[in-house]
C-alpha cells in the first residue's frame, strides 16, 4: 500500500538547526522568495527566540505559503522505507543543478567516515561530535491535507532514525500498519533531537 503525503519541514525541537530534509514534495521547494531559488536554504534557517505562531511549521518565513506542486507526494510505502536528502542547502542535493554539487554529506563536501570533533562538528552544522553521538531525527504525520489544520495534537511521530543527521541520503522505515492518507495526502513534519553542547543554555 502506498501512502501519499506532503512534507513540510518542522524544526521545532531545535534552536539552531542548519540542516533539513529535502524532497521534491516539500513545502518551500525552491524557496520562499516567489522565484525559483535552486540554492534555497529557507527551511534550514534556525528557529530561535520566536513565538509559537512564528516557529510552528516554519511560519515566520512563510514556508506554509509555498506548498508542493500538485501531484507531488512523498510516498510512504507501508512496511518499507522512504528516502530524503538531509542538506544545508537545496543546491547541495540532487534537486538542483543535476546533483553536481551533492556529495555523500549534507553540505557537498567530503569528510572522513569517522568524522569526529570533540567540541562539536560545525561543518556541516550537525550539532554532534560524531555519528555515535548524533541524537536522531524523526518524521511525524498529520492525517489532514490542510496545513492549517495541523496542530501539536494531531501530528504524530511515526518513524525515527537514530544517529542522524549524518549523511545526506537518509531513509526512514514506515510501519507495516500505516493507515492510508486522505486523497489529498497527509502533512508530514520533520524534527531533530539536537544534542546540546554543555555550553548552551538548557532551553536550546
Ligand X SMILES: *[C@@H]1O[C@H](CO)[C@@H](O)[C@H](O)[C@H]1NC(C)=O
Question: From the CB of 118, what's the least distance to ligand X, in Å?
Answer: 5
Note whether 54 binds ligand X by CB under 6 A: no
Choices 49-57, 62-70, 87-95, 129-137 (CB under 6 A): range interacting with ligand X:
129-137
Note whether 130 binds ligand X by CB under 6 A: yes
Classified as helix, coil or strand, 158 is: strand
Q: Determine which residue in the list 33, 83, 116, 171 makes contact with ligand X, applying CB under 6 A.
A: 116
Note whether 120 binds ligand X by CB under 6 A: no
Cα four-point dihedral sign 194, 15, 171, 107: negative
Choices 57-65, 125-133, 137-145, 191-199 (CB under 6 A): range interacting with ligand X:
125-133
Nearer to ligand X, 98 or 112 (CB): 112
Q: Determine which residue in the list 112, 118, 201, 202 makes contact with ligand X, applying CB under 6 A.
A: 118
Note whether 129 binds ligand X by CB under 6 A: yes
Nearer to ligand X, 118 or 201 (CB): 118
Q: Could you tell me which of 42, 95, 41 has the C-alpha nearest to residue 69?
A: 95
Pair type for strands 186-192 and 5-9: parallel
Q: Which long-range contacts (CB under 8 A, 24 or more apart) does 52-59 make?
A: 55/11, 55/12, 56/10, 56/12, 57/8, 57/10, 57/27, 57/147, 57/150, 57/189, 58/8, 58/9, 58/10, 58/11, 58/27, 58/28
Lookup: cell for 29: 521547494
Nearer to ligand X, 61 or 125 (CB): 125
Is cis: bond before 165, omega within 30 of 0?
A: yes
Nearer to ligand X, 13 or 130 (CB): 130
| Residues 57, 7 contacting (CB under 8 angstroms) | no
Note whether 167 binds ligand X by CB under 6 A: no
Q: How many residues bind ligand X (CB under 6 A)?
A: 6
Q: What whole-number distance in Å separates Cα of residue 92 and Cα of residue 109?
A: 9
Q: Determine which residue in the list 133, 163, 167, 196 makes contact with ligand X, applying CB under 6 A.
A: 133
Chain residues binding ligand X by CB under 6 A are: 116, 118, 129-130, 132-133
Amino acid at each position: 500500500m502506498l501512502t501519499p503525503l506532503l512534507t513540510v519541514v518542522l524544526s521545532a525541537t531545535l534552536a539552531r538547526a542548519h540542516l533539513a530534509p529535502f524532497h521534491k514534495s516539500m513545502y518551500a521547494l525552491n524557496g520562499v522568495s516567489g522565484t525559483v531559488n535552486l540554492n534555497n536554504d529557507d527551511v534550514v534557517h534556525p528557529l530561535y527566540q520566536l513565538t509559537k505562531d512564528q516557529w510552528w511549521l516554519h511560519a515566520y518565513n512563510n514556508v506554509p505559503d509555498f506548498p508542493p506542486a500538485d501531484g507531488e507526494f512523498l510516498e510512504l510505502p507501508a512496511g518499507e522505507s522512504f528516502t530524503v536528502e538531509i542538506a544545508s542547502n537545496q543546491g547541495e542535493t540532487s534537486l538542483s543543478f543535476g546533483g553536481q554539487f551533492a556529495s555523500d554529506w549534507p553540505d557537498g563536501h567530503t569528510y572522513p567516515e569517522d568524522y569526529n570533533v570533540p567540541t562539536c562538528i560545525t561543518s556541516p552544522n550537525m550539532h554532534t561530535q560524531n555519528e555515535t553521538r548524533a541524537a536522531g531525527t524523526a518524521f511525524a504525520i498529520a492525517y489532514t491535507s490542510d496545513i492549517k489544520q495541523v496542530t501539536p495534537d494531531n501530528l504524530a511521530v511515526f518513524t525515527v532514525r537514530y544517529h542522524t543527521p549524518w549523511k545526506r541520503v537518509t531513509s526512514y522505515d514506515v510501519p507495516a500498519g500505516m493507515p492510508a492518507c486522505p486523497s489529498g495526502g497527509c502533512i508530514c513534519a520533520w524534527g531533530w533531537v539536537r544534542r546540546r553542547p554543555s555550553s548552551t543554555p538548557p532551553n536550546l
